[in-house]
Structure 1
Amino acid sequence: MYENGDIPTIIFLIGLLYSPIAFVHMVIIYRVSKSIKECVPFIIQLIVIYVYSMIIVYIHTTFKG
């Protein structure tokens, strides 16, 4: 079984894997639709992923050391 500290790491890795996919998806939708409004959900998802990743990295570095 996973330890408590492993779950955020797994979510972080999923986020890292997902962000390039979301970015490419956003670019394709922008090219097809030619409007930024269609891309807003993807931009929000990317921002949330990066903010969450930063928080997890900060927590790991603060409490491990």
Structure 2
Amino acid sequence: LVQEALEQAHTEDSSRTSLITAHRLSTIRSCDLICVLDRGHIVESGAHTELIQRCGVYHKMLSQSNFQ
């Protein structure tokens, strides 16, 4: 349901900027820019594929959640 609402908002106006706080990584997978926070600080940012290639915090979270 949440994913559908996000996709609809993006389709209606692709120039819209949205700030999404997500617990499920699958919710943000298609976002243009993902910022990874650790203890209140941005430790990584980029698109899903970029963050996976860096093998950093985001990659570790994906591995722990068994989501690729």
TM-score, L = length of structure 1: 0.30
Return the structure number with greater helix share: 1
Return the structure number with greater strand share: 2
TM-score, L = length of structure 2: 0.29
Computing the radius of gyration over CA atoms, which structure comes out larger, 1 or 2?
1
Structure with higher RCO (Cα < 8 A, 6+ apart): 1
